[in-house]
Amino acid sequence: MKNKLIILLSFLLATGGIAHAQVSPPLQERGEVFTLQQILDSIDVRNPGLQQFALQTKASYAMGRAAKAWEAPVAGAGVTEFPYPFSGKMNNVSETPARKMLMLRLEQMFPNFSRQRKEQTYYQSFANQHRDDRETMKNQLFTHAKMAYVDAYIAEKKLTVIGEQEKQLQLLIKIAEGRLAYNQALLPNIYKARASLNDLMSSHIRLESTTEQAAATLNSLMNRPVETTLLVDTTSDLLQQHIQILQVDSLYVLEHRSDIRHITDEMHTTELNRQVASTGAKPVFGITLDNMRMSGNASGGESSMYMYSAMAMVSIPIVPWSSKGYKSEVHSMEYEIQAMQKMRKNKALEALGAIRKDWLDLQAAHKDLQIFQTQVIPAYAKAFQANLNAFSENTGNIYETLMAWNDLTMKKMEYYNKLADLLNIRIILETEMQQY
């Protein structure tokens, strides 16, 4: 019976421990499995934060239509008297009775049609900025989603490793307890193995919490109830995607970074607003119509009479006290455009520096992970196998076997920590390059 247990232990440890952890089927049955691309597509469509920009774009076009409106006409009504007494009798009009008249007035200013067209173009240009803002927020949301996805992915991989280690520790403890009666095992070593088993349970709880937190984050980004069960696709290889920055230059950054494109579009909008302000040099025309009814005298010898007045009006914006207003406004916007040019250049340089730094960091992480996978883990696996062989031949003890297995398992866990670091570096690089 003892030999059968040892053979079974050797089989379990050699096949389940040394191979990389795979997803256990029972875990997949707990909820719907999402790939990373499915989550990103869902965020793009369902996230309310991204939906706001379509409404803002409609608002910009509505403001453009409003720019075509005329000023409302002005109507007035009142009483006028001619002549009106000022200081008693007036020369030559002392016998002329004052007459009160009811007066109606209508005034209409005509729009500057050139200004209206420019204003409409100006307001509609905000749609490009809203598009850039949407892409910037989308980039940020995708970054949060990718990091949460990686957290869940790594946690599930670690849970698989812990599950395998838990089974193997339980079997080691069972064999050691059987050998205890023959003085082939020490009780302290058994207690230490049981303590390691409790440590595994604690790690299992923390990792389960990590997966639940990541699921809540992803559900909120996809505008789903946060308590909905969500699982990530751990069968996919997240290391398959490679990033090349050979073609990344200032032109690439200006075209692909939406936050920098926003500055370019804001410069265009400011230029359109400058053109609107420059139309202040053009005059504005208007017309005023007055109509008055003059009643007859008290004796009734004269019937009521009507009087009217028609006046054309024009503004004179070229006078110095008026022209300095729109001229200063135009100069102010020219300075703003120059300032935004400097800002855009500075952001492009910062982006290029960050991309280069993150790419070098990613290359180092790739090399580190490759060495860890091809050299470090196999070395610990050989050390564990040697202790396992000695334990099966009764020349070793459970403590040394347990320590060797624990070292191997910890290195596997460290491998996934390094994998998580690498994936997060790549996510940051994708964010800097704005690659989806």
The answer to whether residue 301 scores a pLDDT higher than 70 is: no
- Confidence category of residue 85, pLDDT binned at 50, 70, 90: low
Mean per-residue pLDDT, 55-78: 94
The answer to whether residue 87 scores a pLDDT higher than 80 is: no
What is the DSSP secondary-structure string of 208-267?
A: HHHHHHHHHHHHHHTTS-TTS-EEE-TTS-TT------TT-SHHHHHHH-HHHHHHHHHH
- Confidence category of residue 303, pLDDT binned at 50, 70, 90: low
- Confidence category of residue 196, pLDDT binned at 50, 70, 90: confident
Percent of residues, the chain, with pLDDT higher than 90: 59
Architecture per CATH, domain 2-70+110-282+317-433, reads as Up-down Bundle (1.20)
pLDDT, tens only, 344-377: 999 999 999 999 999 999 999 999 999 999 999 9
Nearest-angstrom CA–CA distance, 23 and 31: 14
Per-residue pLDDT at 36 = 93
Per-residue pLDDT at 110 = 93
- Whether the domain at 2-70+110-282+317-433 and the domain at 71-109+283-316 fall into the same CATH topology: no
Q: How many CB atoms lie within 10 A of CB 239?
A: 12
pTM score of the predicted model: 0.82
- Confidence category of residue 298, pLDDT binned at 50, 70, 90: very low
C-alpha torsion angle, residues 371, 375, 380, 381 (rounded to 10) = 120
Fold of 71-109+283-316: Outer membrane efflux proteins (OEP) (2.20.200)
The answer to whether residue 145 scores a pLDDT higher than 90 is: yes
- Confidence category of residue 17, pLDDT binned at 50, 70, 90: very low
Residue-range domain boundaries for the chain: 2-70+110-282+317-433, 71-109+283-316
Nearest-angstrom CA–CA distance, 272 and 121: 7
Per-residue pLDDT at 81 = 78
Q: Which of 68-82, 167-181, 378-392 has the lowest mean pLDDT?
A: 167-181
The answer to whether residue 25 scores a pLDDT higher than 60 is: no
- Confidence category of residue 4, pLDDT binned at 50, 70, 90: very low
Backbone phi and psi for residue 175, each to the nearest 5 degrees, phi listed first: -65, -45
Per-residue pLDDT at 14 = 45
**Structure-model confidence comparison of residues 390 and 45, the more confident one:** 45
The answer to whether residue 181 scores a pLDDT higher than 80 is: no
Residue in the structure block whose two tokens are 């400011």: 270
